[in-house]
Amino acid sequence: MLLAITRDVSPRFNECEITHIERTPINLEVARAQHRGYVQALKEIGCTVLELPSEADLPDSVFVEDTAFILPETAVITRPGADSRKPETESIIHALSPYIKLIHLKEPATLDGGDVMVVGKRIFIGLSTRSNSEAISQLNILLKEYGYTVTGVQLHDCLHLKSAVTRVDDKTLLINKNWVDTHPFSGFDLIEVDPSEPHAANCLPVGSAIIFATSFPKTRKTLEERGYKIVSVEVDELAKAEGAVTCCSLIVTL
C-alpha cells in the first residue's frame, strides 16, 4: 500500500519564501485547483492520500516534502533551513508517527527535504542555502545501522537538489547539468532535460508511473521515448513559490 501525505494550500501562500526566482503574484484559487489535481493524480496512481488541512500561519506548508524524507526503515524529520518553516514539522510528526519509526535531526543541522535524493542505499544531500554539512554528518551517524551512505552535492542557481536532479529509477536520474555538480552521479544513466526547459529536472516516481509537470513537454517526450509512463499535472501556479511535483507529498510504502 502506498500512503501519500499532502497538505492543502495555506491562505497566506503569497507570503511564501522565495530565493532563486522573482516574486510574482500567486492566484490562490488556481494554486488550490492545481493542488487538487495533483492529489487526484496520486489517487489515480493507487495511493491512499492523507490530506492534512491548510496551515493559516505557515505560508509554505503545502510543500510537505521539506519536513521529512522517507526510507523503508524509518522517516527522518528534518530541520527546515528557513526559520519560518521550522514549525511545519509538528503536524507531519503527528501524521507519520502511526505508520513508521521516526528519527530527528538536531540543531545546528538544517535540512530541507527538497535537498534529499535517495537512490537505493545512497543518499545525496544538496548543499544549498537551506541545508548544511552538519545535516550530512548527523545523517551518516543516524542511518549507518541501516546501511546508508550520505554524500553532499554542490549546487548553484537553484533552490534545492531536486530542482536540479531527481531519481527516475535506481539506475537513472533526470538532470539539469548546469545547476549541479555531476561527479557524485558517475555510474548512473543521466537523462538530460531539454535545454529550453531548465526547470524540468523534477519528477516524482510513484509505483509504475512518474508524475511530471505539463510545463515541460519536450523533456516529457524524452522520458516517454525511454519507456516511462508519465502522469501529467499542472503545477505552474505552485511553481511561483519555487514548488514542483516532488514538493507536495510524502510517499510512504506500508
- The edge-to-edge listing of strands for the beta sheet with 209-213 is 204-206, 209-213, 229-233
Distance CA 172, CA 178 (A): 18
Q: Is the preceding peptide bond at 108 cis, omega within 30 degrees of 0?
A: yes
Cite the beta strand spans of the chain per DSSP E: 2-7, 47-52, 68-70, 75-77, 102-104, 116-119, 122-127, 149-154, 165-169, 172-175, 189-192, 204-206, 209-213, 229-233, 250-253
Asked if 14 and 25 touch (Cβ cutoff 8 Å), the reply is yes
Sign of the CA dihedral running 206, 112, 202, 49: positive
Q: Which residues are catalytic?
A: 160, 247
